[in-house]
């Protein structure tokens, strides 16, 4: 196993699991602090850890607390991230500053991937990935999640990409960066709330074992970087694309009118969509994270069995 980087603080449970080669699944914290309202966010965080345990893996939620990158959190830590007013959104560029200041930070997909890799964790479950924003040809707003996927050896399980982003351009960018995009059980790339996006699955897999085989092939031959596993939202929880499409357009127009920019855009849009759907988007978001947790734990189990 990789020895965890000495600047990280792991819980005893996570360190023990990594030593014993028990499957471990990383979880991000921006989704808690900046992706969902309180108290549904902390309930989701606790529940998802439970689902990962039920499926035979050890959960490791990742965040920066008091400047220290933490791998594995307890209930009080999750409560703090969910409710404290002063938790920064930490992508890769923000990590050194938040550490140096001894501050609290909720890690994005990019920062969580890097910290997971530094701990020796290879599988990470989230809700949705960042990507190329609509209008990026003018704003250059492309999430660091994509460049991190190019660099860091972690498999990220998500429900695809929300159409607050330009899904086609996001898939093009992932292709350029050499990142495999595997869609679980579907020929369509999913768009978070909906199973379809109008874009075909670049690659289809139908089992966790197939994902583990792709991980082994990629890293075995020495290709650095991550993999995207897109897991379509369960049929019963889906919000039809035309309904959510209209809401996303309205949320985007509101963000323009308010001149929301940079790192605040994604949290603003997520919150506005919850308001505009009277909470229906939140119910769907929680359902898809549950489903991703089940799949991620199974992938971690299959990968551990091969290693």
Select the span of 122-130, 219-227, 235-243, 289-297 touching ligand PSU (CB under 6 A): 122-130
Measured CA to CA, the distance from residue 128 to residue 143 in angstroms comes to: 12
**Nearest approach, Cβ of residue 136 and Mn ion (Å):** 9
- Using CB under 6 A as the binding rule, whether residue 31 contacts ligand PSU is answered as yes
Closest CA to 247 of 272, 264, 279: 272
* Residues 116/60, Cβ–Cβ less than 8 Å: yes
Select the span of 126-134, 178-186, 244-252, 295-303 touching ligand PSU (CB under 6 A): 126-134
- Using CB under 6 A as the binding rule, whether residue 127 contacts ligand PSU is answered as yes
Question: Under DSSP, is residue 118 helix (H, G, I), strand (E, B) or coil?
Answer: helix
| Active-site annotation holder among 49, 89, 148, 162 | 162
**Nearest approach, Cβ of residue 22 and ligand PSU (Å):** 26
Q: Could you confirm whether 89 is annotated as catalytic?
A: no
* CA pseudo-torsion sign 36, 41, 44, 45: positive
List Cα–Cα distances, 269 to 43, 67, 163, 266, in angstroms.
21, 28, 11, 5
- Using CB under 6 A as the binding rule, whether residue 145 contacts ligand PSU is answered as yes
Q: Could you confirm whether 28 is annotated as catalytic?
A: yes
Question: Under DSSP, is residue 184 helix (H, G, I), strand (E, B) or coil?
Answer: strand
Residue 144, contacted partner among Mn ion, ligand PSU, none, CB below 5-8 A by kind: ligand PSU
- Using CB under 6 A as the binding rule, whether residue 130 contacts ligand PSU is answered as yes
Residues 6+ apart with CB under 8 A from 144: 91, 92, 93, 108, 110, 130
Residues 6+ apart with CB under 8 A from 235: 195
Strand-pairing partners, residue 267, are none
**Nearest approach, Cβ of residue 193 and ligand PSU (Å):** 9
Q: In the window 211-250, what residues touch ligand PSU (CB under 6 A)? A: none
Whose Cβ is closer to Mn ion: residue 122's or residue 162's? Answer: 162
**Nearest approach, Cβ of residue 95 and ligand PSU (Å):** 13
φ, ψ of residue 261 in degrees (nearest 5): -135, 160
Question: How many Cα atoms occupy the beta-carbon half-sphere of 228 within 13 Å?
Answer: 35
Whose Cβ is closer to ligand PSU: residue 15's or residue 158's? Answer: 158
Size of the site for ligand PSU (CB under 6 A): 18
Q: What is the DSSP letter of 133?
A: B
Range list of β-strands (E), 162-269:
181-184, 203-205, 227-230
* Residues 134/172, Cβ–Cβ less than 8 Å: no
- Name the residue number minimizing CB distance to ligand PSU: 128
**Nearest approach, Cβ of residue 64 and ligand PSU (Å):** 14
- Using CB under 6 A as the binding rule, whether residue 114 contacts ligand PSU is answered as no
Which residues of this chain interact with ligand PSU, rule CB under 6 A?
Answer: 28, 30-31, 35, 91, 108-109, 127-128, 130, 143-145, 162, 192, 263, 266, 270
Catalytically annotated residues: 28, 162
């Amino acid at each position: 196993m990789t020895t965890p980087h000495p600047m990280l603080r792991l819980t005893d449970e996570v360190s023990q699991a990594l030593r014993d080669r028990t499957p471990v699944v990383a979880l991000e914290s921006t989704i808690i602090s900046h992706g969902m309202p309180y108290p549904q966010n902390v309930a989701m965080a606790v529940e998802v850890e439970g689902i990962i345990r039920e499926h035979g893996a050890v959960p490791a939620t990742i965040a920066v607390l008091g400047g220290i990158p933490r791998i594995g959190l307890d209930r009080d830590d999750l409560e703090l991230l969910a409710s404290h007013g002063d938790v920064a959104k930490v992508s890769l560029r923000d990590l050194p500053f938040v550490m140096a200041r001894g501050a609290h930070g909720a890690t994005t997909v990019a920062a969580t991937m890097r910290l997971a890799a530094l701990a020796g964790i290879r599988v990470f479950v989230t809700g949705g990935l960042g990507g190329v924003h609509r209008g990026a040809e003018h704003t250059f707003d492309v999430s660091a999640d994509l460049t991190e996927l190019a660099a860091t050896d972690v498999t990220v399980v998500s429900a695809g990409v929300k159409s607050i982003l330009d899904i086609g351009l996001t898939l093009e960018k992932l292709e350029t960066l050499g990142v495999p995009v595997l869609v679980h059980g579907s020929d369509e790339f999913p768009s978070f709330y909906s199973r379809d996006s109008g874009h075909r699955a670049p690659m289809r897999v139908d089992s966790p074992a197939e994902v583990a085989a792709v991980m082994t092939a990629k890293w075995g031959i020495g290709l650095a970087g991550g993999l995207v596993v897109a897991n379509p939202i369960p049929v019963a929880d889906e919000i039809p694309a035309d309904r959510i499409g209209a809401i996303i357009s309205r949320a985007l127009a509101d963000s323009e009118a308010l001149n929301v920019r940079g790192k605040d855009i994604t949290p603003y849009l997520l919150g506005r969509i919850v308001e505009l759907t009277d909470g229906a988007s939140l119910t769907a978001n929680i359902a898809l994270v549950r489903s991703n947790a089940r799949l991620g734990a199974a992938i971690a189990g299959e990968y551990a069995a091969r290693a």
